[in-house]
Amino acid sequence: MKSENVEILIVGAGPAGSVAAALLRQQGRQVLVIEREQFPRFSIGESLLPQSMAYLEQAGMLQAVVEAGFQFKNGAAFMRDGSYTDFDFRDKHTAGWGTTYQVQRADFDHVLAKEAERFGAEIRYRHEVLDIALGQGECGGALVTVKAPDGVIYQVNAGFILDASGFGRILPRLLKLETPSNFPVRGAIFTHIEDGIRGGFDRNKIRVTVHPQHCNVWFWTIPFAAGRCSLGVVAETAFLDRYQGTPTERLQAIVAEEPSLKALLSEAQWDTPARQIVGYSANVERLWGEGYALLGNAGEFLDPVFSSGVTIAFKSASLAAAALERQFKGEQVDWQADYGVPLRRGVDTFRAFVESWYAGGFQNIIFHEDKQPDVRRMISSILAGYAWDQSNPLVKETPRRLAALEALCTPA
């Protein structure tokens, strides 16, 4: 069997894998990326957060993203029972980027992958990882078995592995690292449409709409350039299973139950068959081990409600690349202290707000009529992705501060 050696093997060429590859190439490392699909390929998760722009800038990819012509985004809007509120991410507690983009992920991910290749990373599309044997490669690295598009199987001796396989979750499955999520099993039905929206809609913001009868059911409307948008509904599977027909028919039926969304999309052309995913929330026992680290969705995925997935992916890539830079310089790296703990710190902040959203408390905070300006800016920072900013009281003391706000804003 053919065998080859590489310093760093990355599984998956999505946002986490491509940014990690670019950062590592800037360090002079040899990087091979194994990607099962052929890019461009469809993916969900189209609304970026401003925090992600700093990581694109760090990776040297910002210009390519800016020049790609994606829909500008400056905030998030929320609808519930006819009430509307929005947050402008430029008015936030945390310094840094306040704008970003809403992207078709097929194009966005392809832009990032091509940028990684520009920096010198090798990406092999339509190659599939079959097995990873940690500690079995030359010099104690991993021995990775890969199948090429023509069916030929070969092996790679990898000094270090970054698993950026997303929902494929290669290493968590092989190493049995997966643990049950504490979230109920939820699903999403979604599609892209020609939205036909004529006016009264801020295309520079994602809109999150709450179902009129169920506060734990919500819709996303993510405008793209050229009059298209991503549309989806998220709910527990028992709710989604009430509806019959194709995924498109089911999504149309649920949208029809929300008057403002039904009116907004009254002239929409449903020209793309809807899809469904179920049980997407995931957790793992640990985010790293001897010779490997888990990036982005391969480690943890919370929920799409605050569009945190790509930002967490970028953060994980940045932290892992920094740890590897020190490791390759011969320094002693504590992966738990330098990677696991800081990554989970922001993830746990997002987790607390996701839990509060579905319980209704954070919704009451968002729609409360008398939010203090400083509190609005703190919330805006978290919605903009700055979940690691310890200068924000809602980040530094999330449970206590969030509970206090919930108590203040919940109707008697």
Domain assignment of residue 53, yes or no: yes
7 and 143 belong to one structural domain: yes
Residue 125 counted as domain residue: yes
* Helices 51-58/309-328 angle, 10° precision: 40
Q: Is residue 383 one of the residues assigned to a domain?
A: no
- Give the CATH number, domain containing residue 225: 3.30.9.100
Q: What Rg value do the Cα atoms of the chain yield, rounded?
A: 21
Answer whether residue 169 is part of any domain.
yes
Distances (CA, A) of 358 to 15, 184, 186, 387: 27, 10, 11, 19
Give the contacts of 179 (CB within 8 A, at least 6 positions apart): 283, 284, 285
Among the candidates 277, 309, 332, a domain finishes at: 277
Contact 224, 71 (CB under 8 A): yes
The tally of domains found in the chain comes to 2
Residues 106 and 147 in one domain: yes
Determine the pLDDT at residue 406: 95
CATH number at residue 169: 3.50.50.60
Whether 167 and 309 share a structural domain: yes
- Kindly state whether residues 301 and 318 are assigned to the same domain: yes
Contact 73, 90 (CB under 8 A): no
3-state secondary structure of 71: strand
| Backbone φ and ψ of 276, nearest 5° | -140, 140
The C-alpha torsion from 112 through 114 and 120 to 124, rounded to 10°, is 100
| Model pTM score | 0.96
- Amino acid occupying residue 383: L
Residue 298 lies in a domain: yes
Same domain? For 305 and 163 the reply is yes
Question: From CA 113, how far away is CA 13, in angstroms rounded?
Answer: 6
Is residue 364 a part of any domain in this protein? no
* One domain for residues 134 and 55: yes
**Backbone φ and ψ of 54, nearest 5°:** -65, -35
Tell whether 52 and 22 lie within a shared domain: yes
Q: In the sheet that 83-88 helps form, which strands lie side by side, from edge to edge?
A: 83-88, 75-80, 205-210, 218-223, 228-236, 186-194, 275-278
Are 262 and 195 contacting, i.e. CB atoms less than 8 angstroms apart?
A: no
pLDDT string in tens for the chain (412-residue length): 899 999 999 999 999 999 999 999 999 999 999 999 999 999 999 999 999 999 999 999 999 999 999 999 999 999 999 999 999 999 999 999 999 999 999 999 999 999 999 999 999 999 999 999 999 887 778 999 999 999 999 999 999 999 999 989 999 999 999 888 888 899 999 999 999 998 889 999 999 999 999 999 999 999 999 899 999 999 999 999 999 999 999 999 999 999 999 999 999 999 999 999 998 888 898 999 999 999 999 998 889 999 999 999 999 999 999 999 999 999 999 999 999 999 999 999 999 999 999 999 999 999 998 889 999 999 999 999 999 999 999 999 999 999 999 999 988 7
Last residue of a domain, one of 277, 293, 313: 277
Residues 113 and 193 occupy one common structural domain: no
In a domain? residue 393: no
Shared domain for 13 and 114, answered yes or no, is yes
Q: What is the domain range of residue 197?
A: 186-277
Q: Tokens at residue 172, please? A: 């968590």
Tell me: do 248 and 299 sit in the same domain.
Answer: no
Nearest to 262 by CA among 254, 274, 272, 270: 254
- Is residue 173 located within the same domain as residue 52? yes
Token output for 253: 């039926």
DSSP letters for 110-165: HHHHHHHHHTT-EEEET-EEEEEETT-SGGG-EEEEEE-TTS-EEEEEEEEEEE--
Name the residue among 180, 301, 185 with its Cα closest to residue 240: 185
Which residues are 9's β-sheet partners?
32, 161
Say yes or no: 65 and 107 in one domain: yes
